[in-house]
Structure 1
Amino acid sequence: MIILIVSLLFFLPSLTYGNATLTLPANYQPLIERLSKDGFDSELLSKLFMDERAEIIPERMLISLRSKEKEAWYTPFLSPDSILLAKKFLHQNLKQLVQVEKRFNVDKEVIVAILLVESRFGENKGKHRVIPTLASMAIMDAPDNLQNNFLILKETEPELTYEWLENSAQRRANWAYHELKCFLTITHDERVDPLEVKGSYAGALGMPQFIPSSYMVFAISKGGFENWLSNKEEAILSIANYLNLHGWKKGMSMERKRKILWYYNHSDPYIETILKVAQKIKGK
């Protein structure tokens, strides 16, 4: 088993994309120019983004004012059926989980809780193509898109300022751009068609729902990226490695646990759900 730490390579694989549209979407042109300046091959990028599978997703370009997740979103994970499913997974994979718990000093129940909430043990790894998802988010700060969003949001939020909206969009777009670069690097290194990989609505991947940058640093894989996406053994190892490298230790305070889980997902309802599920699995 190796920790897969991928170095950033600034070019794309020599792949061909067979479902090309006739023209390159105008909104993608600045993105291609930016990626080219960062060392990616502009010709291959053009072919990639001309493919119909890379079509812009308007919903990902919307700028939402909703800043917090709702506790109710996570209620189903605390149901008796969900807890029973989690206990079954723990029992079926107990040997590995005990070994991983000892190796990484990470509670096995927390690993199981994360797998339940993130992908329901692989049942829901996401159905959105990662390339158009991240690319659409990376261009949400385009002037035309900002203006359209501002006019829409201003109707219900009269005190909203353009400056606030612009700053918010730029932060999110820069995050998505970084993740897009990481994803292109991963698929290059693994010789994978980037247009065939699917993930969450935000570009998270596999059973642990790692964003691309987290995969590059924290994923543990011996079978490669495509295998990792659906491999429960490597998902368990990767989550344990992630938590361990962020400072997790068995028996640590609840306050410290919350701080570490915040790195995994910046959501208080998410964090509380993980901790509650873990406690229920233990029978407490």
Structure 2
Amino acid sequence: MRIIVFFIFLIFLIKPFKIYANEPFLAPYIENLKIKVKEDLKNKVPEDYIENIFSSPQLTYLPNIMIKSLTWKEEKLPYYQFLEKERIERAKAFLEENKTLLEDIEFVFGVEKEIIVAIFLVETDLGRKTGNFPVINVFYSLALSGEKELFEKFINNSEISLDDGNTKKRWEKRSNWGYKELLYFIEIAYLNNWDPFSIKGSIFGAFGFPQFVPKSYLIYGYDWDKDEKIDLYSIPDSLASIANYLKKEGYKKEESLEYKKRIIMKYNISEPYANTVLAIAENLKN
């Protein structure tokens, strides 16, 4: 018993990046989460599918995901890199190579092809960088971090304190959001017959070429090539999904740049992001 307690103490002390689901101290938290997921996905996803997820050795708790989420500084991201000559040239080449497809998508959705390619460039460097985090582990970690007793073990001596009212509100909001996205992802994985641990994405769970979270996949994902599946790792479906997102949020080609910026900020709530997308698009038109 003393060995187990000492081992748990060491785990908390070093603040590990990964804690596998078979760690004994996680068991009650995982069990509570599993019961809740089964109840909320009742009649949508079979219980044995959910059981297999929660008993998988690949299920991993990443407490640093929530810590990163609470300390993220969007305005400090180096968006200027996407305006470098080499990237603009690659984006122009991509636009030319896919001109017919992009013109067709622009016609259907009313979103300029340059805006679509600009978002594709910023999100994943034209598909080169889609992320290395198993999406299910990201949302599982955010949801599990909603357990105050558990999460506080990993924020000792850090800049985060749940005694701070604003931090606590953001922590609760991120945990609730992560739990809902976990439900969406499990349902999507089941319906698409995916290995739920095979889908990799960003540190905050966005995946595919357009970097959609699961809810966005359900709302904005578009099957452009009509193969009866939405594949966010396919160029046609991805570009159409980006355009569909903007159209559904109210994008109009004839509107002002300020109006377009507000719509693009619904794709990513960041003014530097939206300004960069518009600047790239302008470069692509020239």
Same fold (TM over 0.5): yes
TM, length-normalised to structure 1: 0.83
Tell me what 1:232 maps to: 235
Q: Tell me: CA distance 1:46–1:162, structure 2 relative to 1, closer, same or farther (3 Å).
A: farther
Q: Deviations over 1:8-30 (max 9, x none)?
A: xxxxxxxxxxx995979423222
Cα deviation 1:167-192 (Å, max 9, x = unaligned): 21110011111111111111111111
Select the residue among 253, 259, 281 that pairs with 1:250: 253
CA contact (8 A) 2:74 2:270 kept: yes
Amino acid at match of 2:31: Q
**Which stretch of structure 1 is more off in the superposition, 191-200 or 55-64?**
55-64
Give RMSD over aligned pairs.
2.5
Identity score, percent: 33
Alignment of 1:1-284 (within 5 A): 25-26=26-27, 27-40=29-42, 41-62=46-67, 64-66=69-71, 68-148=73-153, 151-153=156-158, 156=159, 161-221=163-223, 222-223=226-227, 228-283=231-286
Superposed CA deviations along residues 6-64 of structure 1, whole A, max 9, x for unmatched, are: xxxxxxxxxxxxx9959794232221122122134555433312212111112213265
Number of residue pairs the alignment of both structures matches = 261
Q: How far, CA to CA, are the matches of 2:259 and 2:110 in structure 1?
A: 14
- For 1:247, what is the secondary structure of its paired residue? coil
For residues 276 and 121 of structure 1, the distance between their equivalents in structure 2, rounded to whole angstroms, comes to 16
Gaps of 5+ in 2: 1-19
Structure-2 separation of matches of 1:64 and 1:182: 20
**C-alpha separation in 2, matches of 1:97 and 1:151:** 50
- 1:114-133 CA-to-partner distances (Å, cap 9, x unmatched) read 00011111111111111111
Look up the SS of the partner of 2:111 in the other structure. coil
Aligned counterparts of 1:146 and 1:23: Cα–Cα separation in 2: 16
Larger deviation: 180-189 or 66-75? Answer: 66-75
Structure 1 runs not aligned, ≥5 long: 1-18
CA–CA separation in structure 1 for the residues paired with 2:56 and 2:155:
30
Change (3 A) 1:224 1:50: farther
Q: 1:34 to 1:25 in 2, by over 3 A?
A: same
Q: CA 1:278–1:37 in structure 2 vs 1: closer, same or farther (change >3 Å)? A: same
* SS of residue in 1 equivalent to 2:82: helix
Change (3 A) 1:22 1:193: same
Point out which structure has higher relative CO (alpha carbons under 8 A, 6+ apart). 1
Cα distance, 1:220 vs. partner? 0.9
Maintained 8 Å contact 2:21/2:61: no
User: How high is the TM-score relative to the length of structure 2?
Assistant: 0.83
* Mapped contact 1:71–1:269 kept (Cα < 8 A): no
Letter in 2 for 1:258: K
Q: For residues 157 and 164 of structure 2, what CA distance do their matches in structure 1 show? A: 12
Letter paired with 1:170? E
Answer whether contact 2:63 2:145 (CA < 8 A) is retained.
Answer: no
